[in-house]
Amino acid sequence: MKNTILIGLSVLIFSCSNPNKIEERVIDLLVAPESEVTKISEIATKIEYIPLQTSQNCLIPYIMDVQKNKQKFFIRTNKSEILCFNNKGQYLFKLSNSGRGPEEYTYIYDFDVMDDNIMLVLTRNRLLFFNVTDSAFKYFKTLNFKIEPGYVDISPDQKHMLLSYGSTSGNEPYRNVLINMDGDTIMKIPNGYNYSKNTKLTFAATFENINYKSDNLLHFKFWLNDTIFTLNSDNQITSYLILDSKGKQTSTETLANMSSIQELANSLQVNSILETSRYLFYRFYYETGNYRIYDKITKKIFSITIKPKNQTKWLTDDLTGGVDIEPKFCIDGNIYSWADAMILKNHVANTGFKNSSIKFPEKKEALQKLTDSLDETDNPVLIIVTPKK
Protein backbone atom coordinates (compact mmCIF):
# COMPACT_ATOMS: atom_id res chain seq x y z
CA MET A 1 0.00 0.00 0.00
CA LYS A 2 1.22 3.51 -0.76
CA ASN A 3 1.53 5.89 2.16
CA THR A 4 -0.04 9.19 1.03
CA ILE A 5 -1.29 10.92 4.19
CA LEU A 6 -0.44 10.55 7.88
CA ILE A 7 -2.58 12.33 10.46
CA GLY A 8 -1.53 12.86 14.08
CA LEU A 9 -3.95 11.58 16.72
CA SER A 10 -4.39 14.91 18.49
CA VAL A 11 -5.31 16.64 15.22
CA LEU A 12 -7.61 13.81 14.25
CA ILE A 13 -9.65 13.96 17.42
CA PHE A 14 -10.04 17.68 17.90
CA SER A 15 -9.79 19.49 14.57
CA CYS A 16 -13.19 18.28 13.29
CA SER A 17 -15.16 18.42 16.51
CA ASN A 18 -16.30 20.83 19.18
CA PRO A 19 -15.14 19.90 22.71
CA ASN A 20 -18.29 21.44 24.20
CA LYS A 21 -20.44 19.23 22.03
CA ILE A 22 -18.48 16.16 23.11
CA GLU A 23 -19.29 16.87 26.74
CA GLU A 24 -22.99 16.83 25.89
CA ARG A 25 -22.72 13.32 24.44
CA VAL A 26 -21.53 11.34 27.45
CA ILE A 27 -23.10 8.16 28.79
CA ASP A 28 -22.04 7.11 32.28
CA LEU A 29 -21.49 3.34 32.13
CA LEU A 30 -21.79 2.95 35.89
CA VAL A 31 -24.97 4.98 36.46
CA ALA A 32 -27.96 2.98 37.70
CA PRO A 33 -30.53 2.32 34.94
CA GLU A 34 -34.00 3.86 35.17
CA SER A 35 -35.71 0.48 34.95
CA GLU A 36 -35.61 -2.86 33.16
CA VAL A 37 -36.85 -3.57 29.64
CA THR A 38 -38.44 -7.02 29.49
CA LYS A 39 -40.74 -6.97 26.43
CA ILE A 40 -39.78 -6.34 22.83
CA SER A 41 -42.86 -4.11 22.37
CA GLU A 42 -41.24 -1.56 24.70
CA ILE A 43 -38.63 -0.76 22.04
CA ALA A 44 -40.00 -2.24 18.77
CA THR A 45 -43.06 -2.17 16.52
CA LYS A 46 -42.60 -5.20 14.26
CA ILE A 47 -40.89 -8.62 14.10
CA GLU A 48 -40.30 -10.75 11.02
CA TYR A 49 -39.19 -14.40 11.07
CA ILE A 50 -37.33 -15.60 7.94
CA PRO A 51 -36.45 -19.32 7.74
CA LEU A 52 -33.11 -19.87 6.02
CA GLN A 53 -33.46 -22.67 3.48
CA THR A 54 -31.75 -25.92 4.43
CA SER A 55 -29.85 -28.25 2.11
CA GLN A 56 -26.59 -30.20 2.17
CA ASN A 57 -24.94 -27.24 0.44
CA CYS A 58 -25.86 -24.66 3.07
CA LEU A 59 -25.85 -26.17 6.56
CA ILE A 60 -25.33 -23.56 9.30
CA PRO A 61 -23.87 -24.82 12.60
CA TYR A 62 -23.57 -21.30 14.02
CA ILE A 63 -23.95 -17.77 12.65
CA MET A 64 -20.84 -15.62 13.16
CA ASP A 65 -21.94 -12.54 11.22
CA VAL A 66 -24.73 -11.21 9.02
CA GLN A 67 -24.46 -8.63 6.24
CA LYS A 68 -27.11 -7.44 3.78
CA ASN A 69 -27.56 -5.44 0.60
CA LYS A 70 -30.81 -4.60 -1.19
CA GLN A 71 -31.29 -8.05 -2.69
CA LYS A 72 -29.46 -10.55 -0.51
CA PHE A 73 -28.45 -11.77 2.98
CA PHE A 74 -24.87 -12.91 3.56
CA ILE A 75 -24.29 -15.31 6.48
CA ARG A 76 -20.77 -16.08 7.75
CA THR A 77 -20.71 -19.42 9.58
CA ASN A 78 -18.22 -20.94 12.02
CA LYS A 79 -17.07 -23.23 9.16
CA SER A 80 -15.45 -20.21 7.45
CA GLU A 81 -18.11 -20.16 4.76
CA ILE A 82 -20.23 -17.25 3.52
CA LEU A 83 -23.71 -18.31 2.44
CA CYS A 84 -25.86 -16.11 0.22
CA PHE A 85 -29.67 -16.09 0.56
CA ASN A 86 -32.30 -13.91 -1.09
CA ASN A 87 -34.57 -11.65 0.97
CA LYS A 88 -37.03 -14.52 1.53
CA GLY A 89 -34.36 -16.88 2.87
CA GLN A 90 -33.92 -18.98 -0.26
CA TYR A 91 -30.39 -20.32 -0.62
CA LEU A 92 -28.52 -19.05 -3.69
CA PHE A 93 -24.80 -19.93 -3.47
CA LYS A 94 -21.80 -19.84 -1.13
CA LEU A 95 -18.13 -19.00 -0.75
CA SER A 96 -16.16 -21.96 0.61
CA ASN A 97 -12.58 -21.47 -0.56
CA SER A 98 -10.57 -22.91 2.32
CA GLY A 99 -6.95 -23.41 1.26
CA ARG A 100 -3.67 -21.62 0.56
CA GLY A 101 -4.14 -20.61 -3.07
CA PRO A 102 -4.41 -17.01 -4.37
CA GLU A 103 -8.23 -17.09 -4.26
CA GLU A 104 -8.41 -19.08 -1.02
CA TYR A 105 -8.21 -18.41 2.72
CA THR A 106 -7.25 -20.28 5.87
CA TYR A 107 -9.85 -18.50 8.00
CA ILE A 108 -12.25 -15.59 7.50
CA TYR A 109 -11.38 -12.83 9.97
CA ASP A 110 -14.06 -10.44 8.73
CA PHE A 111 -16.07 -9.49 5.66
CA ASP A 112 -18.24 -6.69 4.31
CA VAL A 113 -20.46 -6.12 1.26
CA MET A 114 -20.75 -3.01 -0.89
CA ASP A 115 -23.94 -1.63 -2.43
CA ASP A 116 -22.67 -2.41 -5.93
CA ASN A 117 -22.32 -6.13 -5.14
CA ILE A 118 -18.64 -6.29 -4.29
CA MET A 119 -17.73 -8.44 -1.27
CA LEU A 120 -14.50 -8.10 0.73
CA VAL A 121 -13.09 -11.05 2.67
CA LEU A 122 -10.27 -10.47 5.18
CA THR A 123 -7.98 -13.42 5.90
CA ARG A 124 -4.70 -12.99 7.79
CA ASN A 125 -2.67 -10.37 5.87
CA ARG A 126 -4.76 -10.47 2.68
CA LEU A 127 -7.99 -8.89 1.50
CA LEU A 128 -9.85 -10.82 -1.22
CA PHE A 129 -12.32 -9.11 -3.57
CA PHE A 130 -15.34 -10.88 -5.09
CA ASN A 131 -18.08 -9.75 -7.44
CA VAL A 132 -21.50 -10.93 -6.24
CA THR A 133 -23.35 -12.10 -9.35
CA ASP A 134 -26.79 -13.70 -9.61
CA SER A 135 -25.25 -17.16 -9.32
CA ALA A 136 -21.87 -17.02 -7.55
CA PHE A 137 -19.05 -15.12 -5.86
CA LYS A 138 -16.51 -14.29 -8.58
CA TYR A 139 -12.96 -13.56 -7.36
CA PHE A 140 -11.16 -10.69 -9.11
CA LYS A 141 -8.24 -9.41 -7.00
CA THR A 142 -6.23 -9.47 -3.75
CA LEU A 143 -4.59 -6.79 -1.61
CA ASN A 144 -1.64 -7.84 0.59
CA PHE A 145 -0.65 -6.16 3.88
CA LYS A 146 2.64 -6.17 5.79
CA ILE A 147 0.80 -5.84 9.10
CA GLU A 148 -2.21 -8.07 9.65
CA PRO A 149 -5.55 -6.25 10.19
CA GLY A 150 -8.28 -7.72 12.35
CA TYR A 151 -11.31 -6.09 10.72
CA VAL A 152 -12.39 -4.46 7.47
CA ASP A 153 -15.34 -2.09 7.01
CA ILE A 154 -16.65 -0.37 3.90
CA SER A 155 -16.62 3.41 4.34
CA PRO A 156 -19.88 5.41 4.09
CA ASP A 157 -18.87 6.74 0.65
CA GLN A 158 -18.60 3.12 -0.62
CA LYS A 159 -15.19 3.95 -2.16
CA HIS A 160 -12.82 3.25 0.72
CA MET A 161 -12.13 0.66 3.42
CA LEU A 162 -11.27 1.10 7.09
CA LEU A 163 -8.80 -1.47 8.39
CA SER A 164 -8.65 -1.97 12.18
CA TYR A 165 -5.72 -3.42 14.10
CA GLY A 166 -5.29 -5.01 17.50
CA SER A 167 -2.52 -4.10 19.93
CA THR A 168 -1.69 -7.20 21.96
CA SER A 169 2.07 -6.75 21.46
CA GLY A 170 1.92 -3.15 22.73
CA ASN A 171 3.92 -1.63 19.87
CA GLU A 172 1.65 -1.64 16.82
CA PRO A 173 2.19 1.66 14.95
CA TYR A 174 -1.47 2.46 14.23
CA ARG A 175 -5.04 1.62 15.21
CA ASN A 176 -6.85 2.18 11.91
CA VAL A 177 -5.91 2.77 8.28
CA LEU A 178 -8.25 4.11 5.60
CA ILE A 179 -7.39 2.86 2.11
CA ASN A 180 -8.96 3.08 -1.34
CA MET A 181 -9.86 0.10 -3.52
CA ASP A 182 -6.38 0.06 -5.06
CA GLY A 183 -4.75 -0.25 -1.63
CA ASP A 184 -3.44 3.33 -1.47
CA THR A 185 -3.37 4.74 2.07
CA ILE A 186 -5.65 7.74 2.50
CA MET A 187 -5.29 8.22 6.25
CA LYS A 188 -3.67 6.56 9.27
CA ILE A 189 -4.78 6.75 12.89
CA PRO A 190 -1.70 6.22 15.09
CA ASN A 191 -1.78 3.92 18.07
CA GLY A 192 -1.89 6.22 21.10
CA TYR A 193 -1.58 3.32 23.54
CA ASN A 194 1.90 1.92 23.02
CA TYR A 195 3.61 0.13 25.89
CA SER A 196 6.54 -2.21 26.53
CA LYS A 197 5.56 -5.67 27.69
CA ASN A 198 7.18 -6.75 30.95
CA THR A 199 5.31 -10.04 30.99
CA LYS A 200 5.46 -13.27 29.00
CA LEU A 201 1.71 -13.67 29.28
CA THR A 202 0.06 -13.78 25.85
CA PHE A 203 -3.52 -12.64 25.49
CA ALA A 204 -6.05 -11.46 22.93
CA ALA A 205 -9.43 -9.75 23.23
CA THR A 206 -12.24 -10.08 20.69
CA PHE A 207 -13.46 -6.59 21.68
CA GLU A 208 -10.19 -4.70 21.09
CA ASN A 209 -11.92 -2.98 18.19
CA ILE A 210 -15.68 -2.42 18.13
CA ASN A 211 -16.87 -1.19 14.74
CA TYR A 212 -20.50 -0.70 13.75
CA LYS A 213 -22.63 1.18 11.20
CA SER A 214 -25.59 3.44 11.87
CA ASP A 215 -27.40 6.07 9.79
CA ASN A 216 -24.89 5.83 6.92
CA LEU A 217 -21.98 6.42 9.28
CA LEU A 218 -19.18 4.11 10.41
CA HIS A 219 -18.43 4.22 14.14
CA PHE A 220 -15.39 2.66 15.79
CA LYS A 221 -13.97 2.33 19.30
CA PHE A 222 -10.71 0.96 20.74
CA TRP A 223 -10.93 -0.87 24.05
CA LEU A 224 -8.51 1.41 25.99
CA ASN A 225 -10.43 4.53 24.95
CA ASP A 226 -13.89 5.64 26.16
CA THR A 227 -14.55 7.60 22.96
CA ILE A 228 -16.52 6.33 19.96
CA PHE A 229 -15.28 7.96 16.74
CA THR A 230 -17.19 8.42 13.48
CA LEU A 231 -16.11 8.22 9.85
CA ASN A 232 -18.57 10.05 7.61
CA SER A 233 -19.14 10.07 3.83
CA ASP A 234 -16.54 12.86 3.40
CA ASN A 235 -13.91 10.70 5.16
CA GLN A 236 -13.85 13.06 8.13
CA ILE A 237 -13.33 11.55 11.57
CA THR A 238 -14.96 13.15 14.60
CA SER A 239 -15.60 12.28 18.23
CA TYR A 240 -19.15 10.97 18.38
CA LEU A 241 -19.88 9.70 21.87
CA ILE A 242 -18.13 8.96 25.15
CA LEU A 243 -18.95 5.81 27.10
CA ASP A 244 -17.55 7.05 30.40
CA SER A 245 -15.93 4.18 32.32
CA LYS A 246 -14.95 6.43 35.25
CA GLY A 247 -11.36 5.28 34.91
CA LYS A 248 -12.26 1.60 35.31
CA GLN A 249 -11.08 0.67 31.80
CA THR A 250 -8.00 -1.47 31.28
CA SER A 251 -4.79 0.60 31.23
CA THR A 252 -1.55 0.21 29.31
CA GLU A 253 0.21 -0.29 32.66
CA THR A 254 -2.02 -3.29 33.38
CA LEU A 255 -1.34 -4.78 29.95
CA ALA A 256 2.40 -4.20 30.22
CA ASN A 257 2.77 -5.87 33.61
CA MET A 258 -0.09 -8.37 33.66
CA SER A 259 0.73 -11.54 35.59
CA SER A 260 -2.74 -13.11 35.40
CA ILE A 261 -5.66 -12.90 33.01
CA GLN A 262 -7.79 -12.11 36.06
CA GLU A 263 -6.35 -8.59 36.03
CA LEU A 264 -8.25 -8.00 32.81
CA ALA A 265 -11.42 -9.41 34.34
CA ASN A 266 -11.17 -6.90 37.20
CA SER A 267 -11.42 -3.93 34.83
CA LEU A 268 -14.39 -2.60 32.86
CA GLN A 269 -14.65 -4.00 29.34
CA VAL A 270 -17.15 -2.84 26.72
CA ASN A 271 -18.00 -5.96 24.68
CA SER A 272 -20.44 -4.80 21.99
CA ILE A 273 -22.32 -1.76 20.64
CA LEU A 274 -25.35 -1.56 18.34
CA GLU A 275 -27.23 1.57 17.33
CA THR A 276 -30.58 2.35 15.69
CA SER A 277 -32.09 5.76 14.96
CA ARG A 278 -33.46 5.90 18.51
CA TYR A 279 -31.54 3.42 20.67
CA LEU A 280 -27.97 2.64 21.61
CA PHE A 281 -27.46 -0.94 22.81
CA TYR A 282 -24.23 -1.57 24.69
CA ARG A 283 -22.93 -4.49 26.68
CA PHE A 284 -20.04 -4.38 29.15
CA TYR A 285 -18.49 -6.42 31.92
CA TYR A 286 -17.64 -4.91 35.28
CA GLU A 287 -17.88 -7.22 38.32
CA THR A 288 -20.72 -8.88 36.42
CA GLY A 289 -22.25 -8.81 32.96
CA ASN A 290 -24.27 -5.68 32.11
CA TYR A 291 -26.56 -4.93 29.16
CA ARG A 292 -27.96 -1.41 28.68
CA ILE A 293 -30.26 0.39 26.25
CA TYR A 294 -29.96 4.16 25.92
CA ASP A 295 -33.04 5.97 24.57
CA LYS A 296 -31.78 8.98 22.59
CA ILE A 297 -35.16 10.71 22.76
CA THR A 298 -35.90 10.43 26.48
CA LYS A 299 -32.17 10.29 27.40
CA LYS A 300 -32.95 7.43 29.79
CA ILE A 301 -30.95 4.26 30.35
CA PHE A 302 -32.63 0.87 30.70
CA SER A 303 -31.25 -2.56 31.50
CA ILE A 304 -31.74 -6.10 30.32
CA THR A 305 -31.25 -8.34 33.33
CA ILE A 306 -28.29 -10.72 33.27
CA LYS A 307 -28.74 -13.55 35.75
CA PRO A 308 -25.95 -15.33 37.68
CA LYS A 309 -23.58 -17.50 35.60
CA ASN A 310 -24.09 -15.06 32.69
CA GLN A 311 -27.51 -16.48 31.82
CA THR A 312 -29.28 -13.58 30.18
CA LYS A 313 -33.01 -13.00 30.23
CA TRP A 314 -33.55 -11.57 26.78
CA LEU A 315 -36.53 -9.61 25.49
CA THR A 316 -39.88 -11.40 25.45
CA ASP A 317 -41.54 -11.42 22.03
CA ASP A 318 -44.98 -10.11 22.99
CA LEU A 319 -45.64 -8.99 19.38
CA THR A 320 -45.76 -12.42 17.70
CA GLY A 321 -45.25 -14.85 20.60
CA GLY A 322 -41.86 -16.15 19.46
CA VAL A 323 -38.72 -16.92 21.44
CA ASP A 324 -36.93 -14.38 23.62
CA ILE A 325 -34.81 -12.10 21.44
CA GLU A 326 -31.16 -11.19 21.91
CA PRO A 327 -30.07 -8.14 19.85
CA LYS A 328 -27.04 -9.43 17.92
CA PHE A 329 -26.56 -7.25 14.83
CA CYS A 330 -27.89 -4.00 13.44
CA ILE A 331 -28.38 -3.53 9.68
CA ASP A 332 -30.08 -0.54 8.07
CA GLY A 333 -31.57 0.52 11.39
CA ASN A 334 -33.11 -2.88 12.17
CA ILE A 335 -32.03 -5.31 14.88
CA TYR A 336 -31.11 -8.84 13.77
CA SER A 337 -31.10 -12.06 15.75
CA TRP A 338 -31.87 -15.71 15.04
CA ALA A 339 -33.39 -18.79 16.64
CA ASP A 340 -32.35 -22.43 16.38
CA ALA A 341 -35.08 -24.39 14.54
CA MET A 342 -35.45 -26.97 17.31
CA ILE A 343 -35.67 -24.30 20.04
CA LEU A 344 -38.28 -22.37 18.07
CA LYS A 345 -40.36 -25.51 17.42
CA ASN A 346 -40.24 -26.51 21.09
CA HIS A 347 -41.23 -23.00 22.12
CA VAL A 348 -44.27 -22.92 19.84
CA ALA A 349 -45.31 -26.43 20.92
CA ASN A 350 -45.32 -25.33 24.57
CA THR A 351 -48.63 -24.49 26.27
CA GLY A 352 -47.15 -21.12 27.22
CA PHE A 353 -47.17 -20.12 23.55
CA LYS A 354 -50.72 -21.31 23.01
CA ASN A 355 -51.97 -19.38 26.04
CA SER A 356 -49.88 -16.26 25.51
CA SER A 357 -51.54 -12.90 24.98
CA ILE A 358 -49.79 -10.93 22.26
CA LYS A 359 -50.37 -7.73 20.32
CA PHE A 360 -50.73 -9.30 16.86
CA PRO A 361 -52.66 -12.63 17.02
CA GLU A 362 -52.47 -13.07 13.23
CA LYS A 363 -48.66 -13.07 13.50
CA LYS A 364 -48.91 -15.79 16.12
CA GLU A 365 -50.86 -17.96 13.69
CA ALA A 366 -48.28 -17.32 10.97
CA LEU A 367 -45.45 -18.30 13.35
CA GLN A 368 -47.31 -21.52 14.17
CA LYS A 369 -47.50 -22.38 10.45
CA LEU A 370 -43.84 -21.52 9.96
CA THR A 371 -42.67 -23.83 12.76
CA ASP A 372 -44.94 -26.63 11.52
CA SER A 373 -43.00 -26.47 8.23
CA LEU A 374 -39.61 -26.79 9.95
CA ASP A 375 -37.63 -29.87 10.89
CA GLU A 376 -35.60 -29.81 14.11
CA THR A 377 -32.37 -30.10 12.12
CA ASP A 378 -33.16 -27.19 9.80
CA ASN A 379 -31.05 -24.03 9.59
CA PRO A 380 -31.68 -21.21 12.07
CA VAL A 381 -34.57 -18.81 11.53
CA LEU A 382 -33.48 -15.21 11.01
CA ILE A 383 -35.32 -12.65 13.17
CA ILE A 384 -35.61 -9.02 12.06
CA VAL A 385 -36.85 -6.47 14.63
CA THR A 386 -38.04 -3.01 13.57
CA PRO A 387 -37.27 -0.60 16.46
CA LYS A 388 -39.38 2.38 17.41
CA LYS A 389 -38.35 5.67 15.80
Q: What is the CATH number of the domain that holds 55?
A: 2.130.10
Q: Does any domain span residue 143?
A: yes
Q: Does any domain span residue 368?
A: yes
Give the range among 14-18, 82-86, 139-143, 307-311 with minimum mean pLDDT.
14-18
Alpha-carbon distance of 314 to 246, in angstroms, equals: 27
Alpha-carbon distance of 190 to 177, in angstroms, equals: 9
Residue range 259-266: mean pLDDT, rounded:
83
Q: Percentage of the chain with pLDDT > 70?
A: 92
Q: Does any domain span residue 192?
A: yes
Q: What confidence tens digit (pLDDT) does each residue in 59-113 have?
A: 999 999 999 998 899 999 999 999 999 999 999 999 999 888 888 999 999 999 9
Q: Does any domain span residue 120?
A: yes
Strand partners, 160: 180
Q: Does any domain span residue 1?
A: no
Residue 309 confidence class, pLDDT cut points 50, 70, 90 = low
For residues 188 and 177, the answer to whether their CB atoms sit within 8 Å is: yes
Check residue 101 and give its pLDDT: 85
Radius of gyration for the alpha carbons in the chain, expressed in angstroms and rounded? 22
Check residue 170 and give its pLDDT: 84
Alpha-carbon distance of 299 to 318, in angstroms, equals: 24
Three-state SS letters, 112-162? EECCCCEEEEEECCEEEEEEECCCCEEEEEEEECCCCCCEEEECCCCCEEE
- The one-letter code for the residue type at 201 is L
Q: Does any domain span residue 2?
A: no
Q: What confidence tens digit (pLDDT) does each residue in 320-368 have?
A: 999 999 999 999 999 999 999 999 999 999 999 989 889 999 999 999 9
For residues 302 and 36, the answer to whether their CB atoms sit within 8 Å is: yes
Q: Is the pLDDT of residue 267 over 50?
A: yes
Query: Whole-number mean pLDDT of the chain?
Result: 90
Alpha-carbon distance of 63 to 76, in angstroms, equals: 6
Q: Does any domain span residue 3?
A: no
For residues 273 and 280, the answer to whether their CB atoms sit within 8 Å is: yes
Q: How many domains does the chain have?
A: 1
Q: Does any domain span residue 145?
A: yes
Check residue 16 and give its pLDDT: 39
Phi, psi of 224 (to 5 degrees): -90, 5
Burial class of residue 295, CB neighbours in 10 A (0-12, 13-18, 19+): middle
Domain limits at 151? 9-387
Q: Is the pTM of this model over 0.85?
A: yes
